[in-house]
Structure 1
Amino acid sequence: MQTRLADVLTRLKNAMALPNRPDNPAAPVLLAVSKTQPADAIAALAAAGQLAFGENYVQEALPKINALQALGLEWHLIGHLQSNKAQEAAHAFDWIQTIDRAKLVPLLARHRPPDLPSLNVLVQVNIDDEASKHGCSPADALALADLVAAESRLRLRGLMAIPAPHEDPQQSTQAFRAMRDLFDAMRQRHPGVDTLSMGMSGDFVAAIEQGATMVRIGSALFGPRIAPQSRESNA
Structure 2
Amino acid sequence: MQNTPRDKLHALLQSLDNAARRSGRPAPRLLAVSKRHPVTAVAEMASAWRQERPGEVPAFGENYVQEARAKAEALAAAGGPPVEWHLVGHLQSNKAALAADLFDWVQSVDSVRLAAALGRHRDAGRSPMNVLLQVNIDAEPGKHGCAPADVPALAAAVAAQPALALRGLMAIPAPLPEPERRREAFARMRALFDSLRTQHAGVDTLSMGMSDDAELAIAEGATMVRVGTALFGPRN
User: What TM-score comes out, normalization by structure 1 length?
Assistant: 0.92
Q: Deviations over 1:153-207 (max 9, x none)?
A: 0000000000011111000000000000000000010122000000001100110
Q: Deviations over 1:104-157 (max 9, x none)?
A: 111111110123210000000000011131000000012101111111100000
Percent of aligned pairs sharing the same letter: 56
Higher helix share: 2
In 2: Cα distance, 1:140 partner to 1:114 partner: 28
User: How large is the Cα RMSD of the aligned pairs?
Assistant: 1.1
Q: Residue type matched to 1:49 in 2? A: W
- Residue in structure 2 matching 1:104, options 85, 97, 114: 114
In 2: Cα distance, 1:225 partner to 1:37 partner: 7
Query: Residue 157 of structure 1 aligns to a residue in which SS?
Result: strand
The equivalent residue for 1:30 is 30
In 2: Cα distance, 1:94 partner to 1:192 partner: 16
Assess if the C-alpha contact under 8 Å between 2:110 and 2:134 holds in 1: yes
In 2: Cα distance, 1:147 partner to 1:84 partner: 19
The equivalent residue for 1:81 is 91
Assess if the C-alpha contact under 8 Å between 2:165 and 2:202 holds in 1: no
Ranges of 4+ aligned residues in structure 1 off by more than 2 Å: none
Segments of 5+ residues of structure 2 without an aligned counterpart are 51-57
Q: Residue type matched to 2:90 in 1? A: H
Query: Residue 21 of structure 2 aligns to a residue in which SS?
Result: coil
Residues 178-217 of structure 1 correspond to what in structure 2 (within 5 A)?
178-217=188-227
- Residue in structure 1 matching 2:61, options 37, 45, 54: 54
In 2: Cα distance, 1:18 partner to 1:184 partner: 21
User: What TM-score comes out, normalization by structure 2 length?
Assistant: 0.91
The equivalent residue for 1:6 is 10
Segments of 5+ residues of structure 1 without an aligned counterpart are 227-235
Q: Residue type matched to 2:59 in 1? A: A
In 2: Cα distance, 1:68 partner to 1:132 partner: 35
The equivalent residue for 1:166 is 176
Q: Residue type matched to 1:40 in 2? A: T
Q: Residue type matched to 1:18 in 2? A: R
